[in-house]
A and B are shown apart, each in its own frame.
Chain A
């Protein structure tokens, strides 16, 4: 394990494209968060700064961070695809790594990138939350924080999908294009042929909806509006804007299941094939 971390570390720390994309990710996220905090929407009865207060800041930031998951997936595709184009996977096996260790190294890279993404959202959330919440209480801070772990799982799941693609296709460009096309329009089109109840179970959909759009209206409204049966009238699902999906724990299980399945297929591929 230490050996694998060591090896991957040498490869990544000196790889300019890797560092540039990671910096872009950091810059994009920070910029969007900052700009959205400066937008002042003055509609009576609504206060958008609520989004930056505990506990809403967690789900709001996780959602914004999820916009940039594509960058993270591209990162992994590049790092793993290079091993094929430089034929270094082949050399590693000749030098003495097992095929399981080849995949293990890449899963470690995914894990490390996810930890970075997790920390990025955690630290920004803490900063903005502390600034915007007038009297932050521990309970407010902690409630809703679980979405960070869901976001962590989401980044891992997306990157594992990218890893599987590149293991399958052995080409950076092709894998990146197919990854983008799968998210839109390939999987959405395929989904549309299936009944409504089945659609949330598709991989891209199930992973993508782990960090749903925050309920902007109900979060920022100062008064509450309720329907006849007592539900919040300002939620998107109540308004029919988003489809009712699975409960959160179901989605987490589903995404984790897909992650394990895809990592398993990737392992099978690398063990079976010639390098």
Chain B
């Protein structure tokens, strides 16, 4: 597979803080590569280094199998940390500057504004936008020139649920077109939903990487409640449908294999004359995954 990005032994410390330490990473063409980790785990620093705004102290990275100069940046659209625009310029003027830097014709601006749903605001100054709109404008800027690779750092930050869905839709859409996406996030669900591969960072170090389903596990968790939870739990365990079971007040928390869906549990309970009063799929928290991974 063609390598888009190769990182070897990348290290960046800020004083005593080890922002990134001896990091290796490979991203192939067409992958949607998630970088997962809690705040301060080195995600932003890693992206800042590979986009050339922060200098690494050790190690190296290469884009597109070793492209020299800054020409490769025209093939990469990137949003790192927060949107950076001129508050006094209008959206169109801000995108004009970005388009000229990326050497993209000005007529692409209307297209990306449309994708980001900001066409109506095109002539308003940037400072009048809400946080979510600013984030969407940054997404629009990333899309300028239809880059092969998108590097995104917490792209759903500050967005309302609708905005989050829109941005994830954009990312999935680009991925389906065969684009490579590198996405940093602290939200497990986000990575699970859109990524094919994931690298998990902790304290600046890589603690795991691989395909999402291999790494994050496919176990499902459900919170169940029924008139007699004790009996329900017993039956489920005896039928071998659940791996773990935990009593929580009037509810039970069960972990099942990937083959078992909420419908299976519902049917099983009904077949055993138990009417469920609650059936809620639960996501594992990032912490519990980390604990598993570190172990």
Contact = CB atoms under 8 A, between A and B. Distances in A.
Given A274-B54, A274-B55, A275-B53, A92 B85 contact: no
A11 B98 CA distance: 11
A96 interface: yes
Most B CB contacts (10 A, CB to CB) among A3, A15, A91 go to A91
Contacts of A10: 89, 93, 96-97, 100
A88 B98 CA distance: 10
Most B C-beta atoms less than 10 A away, residue of A15, A16, A82, A97 = A97
B194 interface: no
B88 A274 contact: no
B70 A97 contact: yes
A95 B102 contact: yes
Nearest to A95: B101
Nearest to B78: A94
A88 B86 CA distance: 7
B70 A88 contact: no
B101 A92 contact: yes
Interface in A56-103: 82, 86-88, 90-98
B73 A16 contact: no
Nearest to B96: A10
Given A7-B97, A11-B97, A96 B89 contact: no
A87 B88 CA distance: 14
B70 A94 contact: no
Most buried by B among A3, A7, A15: A7
Contacts of B70: 96-98
Interface in A150-170: none
Interface string B101-120: 11100000000000000000
A6 interface: yes
Interface in B31-73: 48, 51-55, 70, 73
Contacts of B78: 94-95
Q: How large is the interface on B (under 10, 10 to 19, 20 to 34, 35 or more residues)?
A: 20 to 34
B259 to A, nearest CB: 44
B84 interface: yes
Contact of A93 (B51, B87, B88, B103): B51
Contact of B89 (A14, A87, A91, A92): A14
B133 interface: no
A11 B86 contact: yes
B80 interface: yes
A91 B100 CA distance: 13
Nearest to B80: A94
Given A94-B52, A96-B74, A7 B85 contact: no
Contact of A87 (B74, B84, B93): B84
B93 A96 contact: no
Nearest to B14: A274
Contacts of A275: 53-54
Given A93-B52, A95-B73, A6 B100 contact: yes
A274 B44 CA distance: 13
Contacts of A92: 101
Contact of A16 (B55, B74, B88, B96): B88
Interface string A89-126: 01111111110000000000000000000000000000
Given A10-B93, A97-B70, A98-B70, A274 B53 contact: yes
Contacts of A96: 70, 73-74, 101-103
B113 to A, nearest CB: 16
Contacts of B48: 274
A94 B51 contact: yes
Contacts of B90: 14
A275 B54 CA distance: 6
Interface in A1-19: 3, 6-7, 10-11, 14-16
A86 B84 contact: yes
Nearest to A92: B101
From A11, A15, A94, A98, name the one whose CB has the most chain B CB atoms within 10 angstroms: A94
Contacts of B98: 91, 95
Contact of A86 (B55, B87, B96, B141): B87
B84 A90 contact: yes
A6 B87 CA distance: 19
Nearest to A100: B70
A133 to B, nearest CB: 45
Given A95-B102, A272-B55, 5 more contacts: A7-B97, A10-B93, A15-B88, A92-B101, A93-B52
3 nearest A-B pairs in the assembled complex, by CB-CB distance: A96-B73, A91-B84, A87-B84
